[in-house]
Structure 1
Amino acid sequence: MPSVTFQTSGKTIEVDKNANLLRTSIRYEGAVPYKCGGGLCGTCRVLIVDGHDNLSKVMKKEVDRLGQEKIAQGYRLACQTSVTGDITVAWSDEDLTRLNKIAQRRINAVQ
């Protein structure tokens, strides 16, 4: 079984192959920040520290929310990413504050 290490929260768990990264975080209290869970807000942005090759392909919503530059730097949206092997992910408080502001604007725009 693949393992997911949530570097920021200090938790490591084993998951089924092709498990959704955000749902895994929610279920096992990995603490990945999120607002919507559907690729609209971008708050579940995580940095893939290790295991880039052990993830599903980048989805269109990720390109739309993150842009090619952030994806090239190793960022992914946890809600759009499936785990196929061992990975380590991280996020920062600075990211969380900034992303919460962006998320609120996007959610307000949809309503």
Structure 2
Amino acid sequence: MPSVTLQTSGKTIEVANDTNLLRMSIRYEGSVPYKCGGGLCGTCRVRIVEGNESVSKVMKKEIDRLGQDKIDQGYRLACQTFVTGDVTIAWGEEDLERLNKIAQRRINAAQ
């Protein structure tokens, strides 16, 4: 059975072959953010950290929502991605980076 490591939430879950990343996250409380679950909103964007060869091919909805540049950087929509082997995913790094920069500016301004 493939295993999915959810780097951001710190969980590793064994799943059946061809398991959908978003449904797996919902079922096992993996914390991948989402709103629609159908490839329309883009909120379930994750980055494939390891195992890009172990996920389904990129769908047209993903290119439409994320753009080819993000796809090339390893981003996928969890609702459109199926697991065929061991995978490590992460999400939210850009938000954390932005928040850290804001926090650092506030710290520097207070000094």
Helix, strand or coil: the match of 1:25?
helix
The Cα offsets for residues 44-76 of structure 1, whole Å up to 9 and x where unpaired, read as 000100000000000000000001000000000
Q: 1:61 aligns to what SS in structure 2?
A: helix
Aligned residues: 97
Runs of 5+ in structure 2 lacking a partner?
A: 97-111
TM-score normalised by the chain length of structure 1: 0.84
Shift of 1:93: 6.3
Secondary structure of the residue aligned to 1:40 is: coil
When normalised by structure 2's length, the TM-score is 0.84
Runs of 4+ in 1 over 2 A off after TM superposition: 93-96
Name the residue aligned to 1:74: 74
Percent of aligned pairs with the same residue? 78
2:17 paired with 1:17: yes
What is the rounded CA distance, in whole Å, between the counterparts of 2:95 and 2:86 in structure 1? 24
C-alpha distance in 2 between matches for 1:93 and 1:55 = 21
Partner Cα separation in structure 2 for residue 20 and residue 42 of structure 1: 15
In structure 1, distance between residues paired with 2:47 and 2:84: 16
Q: Residue 37 of structure 1 aligns to a residue in which SS?
A: coil
Unaligned ranges ≥5, structure 1: 97-111
Cα RMSD of the aligned pairs, angstroms, is 1.6
- Indicate the SS of the match to 1:62: helix
Query: Aligned residue for 1:105?
Result: none
Larger radius of gyration: 2
Counterpart of 2:62, as a letter, is E
- Give per-residue Cα distances to partners, 1:11-53, cap 9 Å, x unaligned: 0000000000000000001100000000000000001000000
Q: 1:6 to 1:69 in 2, by over 3 A?
A: same
